[in-house]
Structure 1
Amino acid sequence: MVAVTGQDRLAQDFVEFAVRSGVLRFGEFKTKAGRLSPYFFNAGLFDDGEKLGRLAQFYAQRILGSGIEFDMLFGPAYKGIPLAAAVAIELARLGRNVPYAYNRKEAKDHGEGGSLVGAPVQGRVLIVDDVMSAGTAARESIALIEAAGARPHAVAIALDRQEKATENGQDVPWSAVQYVRDKLQLQVCAIAKLDDLLQYLATRGSELGAHHAKVLAYRERYGAG
């Protein structure tokens, strides 16, 4: 059995939680890039109070452990909205009370109006999302945050797929996370990475361990980061 270090324990616990919750599944799934992936992560299936609360605990622990400085949270519509709210609640429970905001897909022309909802967007903003596929959502969030006069500072995600992004239908040698770090100059912290999933599968019995070879082959073919 592979030993798991203290630094990896949070990631291993998260992967196990995601598998047990049916959020992380194995088989054959077509990605947005048209690749056939042997695994699929659907954060939308953290779909009850208990699972969302546990997910928020993982985010909060990773964020606080990362040392990233931030003044508020921002949740990109739509999946980022409940994530930012849940993480704000958990951070407050841990003694780190920060405001949060999110955006609408379509701006309102009545009431308070605009596309931003929640606390005023200001200071160093930490964007909370589920995964990064191409960095598109991050770019959209950055534009909204900068337009509000705030500073997009970092991104927290659940899973870093560590695979090559695509541009104009072609593979590029960097991942979406690497693009956000290197090109957009934002810090990124992920609860777990594909490498953590591989380590998890390597320590399982035959039922889950059988997926290790397929996931490893996928990593070798499309991996980045």
Structure 2
Amino acid sequence: MSSQLPAYKADFLKAALESGALKFGTFELKSKRISPYFFNAGEFYTRKSLRALEAAYAATIAEAHANGVFDFEVVFGPAYKGIPLATLATRGLDGDKYDNIVYAFDRKEAKDHGEGGSFVGGPFRGKKVIIVDDVVTAGTAKREAIDKIRGQGGVVTGIIVALDRMEKLPSPDGDESKPMPTAIQALGREYNIPIIAILTFDDIVKGIKGIIPNSDIEKMEAYREKYKPSE
């Protein structure tokens, strides 16, 4: 991996390549765009790759916290992919100052027996909460999570995702030439909260040079130029 990347980013990118979470080729996205690469955090399922996942999320959270980007008391993972991510991220936080950090997640359907409820894990009423998930596509799932947390009296202070594709949202009228923000930019502005990615598109390009064919990198750079945001 490129020495230009911090160690935790380089290790995460290496694990993404080895596990197949990051692939290169031709992929149709939900937006119907044809992308030269595809990322799926669901491919991190071996113990080895989970160690890299844990370290990367924890390092990203700790770095942002140390730099005053956000404060937090709860790590929340939206069902379903966010559940193991929040668990790993909380476990990976190092140092006594994080010993009282709790994790929580929501149920897709409220439990109607036993203790009942729609949430599992630590309480977040009156607490500062960060959301941990894989990506922001349209932002719908994150909006739902924010609304749920606020509905329980929590305060969302930040969102951490694995990847920022750094590409603009599709225009509502289908005109791809129109200036548009990225999904992360739009969501961050809407809720006035920081959204941080472990890896960005630029990180990937830096890290894969010399590892994958130059033709694939050229396709990625052309894709980036076509769909770069207005800002």
TM-score w.r.t. length of structure 2: 0.88
Deviations 1:26-59 (A, max 9, x none): 0111111111110010100101222112201011
Stretches of structure 2 that go unaligned for 5 or more consecutive residues are: none
Partner of 1:186: 193
Matches within 5 A, 1:57-206: 57-67=55-65, 68-91=70-93, 93-95=94-96, 96-97=98-99, 98-122=101-125, 123-166=127-170, 168=172, 170=174, 173-201=180-208, 203-205=209-211
- Match of 1:72, as an amino acid? V
- 1:10 corresponds to: 8
Give the Å deviation of 1:187. Answer: 1.1
Secondary structure of the corresponding residue to residue 100 of structure 1: strand
Q: In the superposition, relative to structure 1, how do residues 186 and 136 fare at CA in structure 2: closer, same or farther (>3 Å)?
A: same
Distance (Å, rounded) in 1 between the aligned partners of 2:38 and 2:61: 24
Equivalents in 2 of 1:214, 1:187: separation in Å? 30
**How far apart, CA to CA, are the structure 1 residues paired with 2:32 and 2:137?**
12
- Native 8 Å contact 1:12 1:197 kept in 2: no
* Identical counterparts, % of pairs: 40
Give the C-alpha shift of residue 211 in structure 1. Answer: 1.0
**Matching residue's letter, 1:190:** A
Q: Could you say which residue in structure 1 is the equivalent of 2:218?
A: 213
The alpha carbon displacement at 1:210 in A equals 2.8
Larger strand proportion of the pair: 1
Count residues in correspondence.
220
In 2, the alpha carbon distance for the partners of 1:3 and 1:46 equals 23
- How far apart in 2 are the matches of 1:160 and 1:196? 10
Cα offset for 1:116? 1.1
8 Å CA contact retained: 2:171, 2:180: no
- One-letter amino acid matched to 2:169: A
| Distance in 1 (alpha carbons) for counterparts of 2:195 and 2:102 | 20
* RMSD after superposition: 2.0
TM-score of the aligned structures, taking structure 1 as reference length: 0.90
1:152 Cα deviation from its structure 2 partner: 1.0
Measured after TM superposition, the shift of residue 9 of structure 1 is 4.4
- SS of the aligned residue for 1:183 comes to helix
